[in-house]
Amino acid sequence: MKSDRRFITSLIEIILGIIFNICYFSGLTDAYFSGLGFGLLAAGVLQLIRYFRYRSDKNYREKTDIDQHDERNRYLALKAWAFSAYLFVIIGAVASICFRIAGLTVYSQAAAYSICAVLILYVICYFVFKRKY
């Protein structure tokens, strides 16, 4: 079921984290993969702890199930994503202008392109959802 997939996903994260760290300490990769490996390892261990707690603690399981299926929480999550997108576009626009004024053209273009990418994704999702619903 879904919780079994979480268990498998956690194990995969732990294994990838260990592999990335072994590659780094063997000199095969740079420090980026070490950080990524430690991050995956930590995320996998924490998810594994949550999985075992979910399986063993009935009260925690009930609370988690209610939280995941509550309509209010879903509404709040959607609002948070929408607000995050608005803030990203505004911050990206301000950053693009500030970078341009500072003479950092490459950073200005990167900020502007990221805004364009988000807006293009928004339009695509809008038309897909409009057609679906």
Question: Which among 50, 48, 16, 49 is positioned nearest to 33, based on CA atoms?
Answer: 16
Per-residue model confidence as pLDDT tens digits over 54-99: 888 889 888 888 877 878 888 888 889 899 999 999 999 999 999 9
What confidence tier does 29 reach under pLDDT thresholds 50, 70, 90?
Answer: confident
**Which of these, 69, 71, 66, 21, lies nearest to 42 by C-alpha position?**
21
108 within 8 A of 100, measured Cβ to Cβ: yes
pLDDT band at 2 (very low <50, low <70, confident <90, very high): low
Q: DSSP letters of 63-125? A: HHHHHHH-HHHHHHHHHHHHHHHHHHHHHHHHHHHHHHHTT-HHHHHHHHHHHHHHHHHHHHH
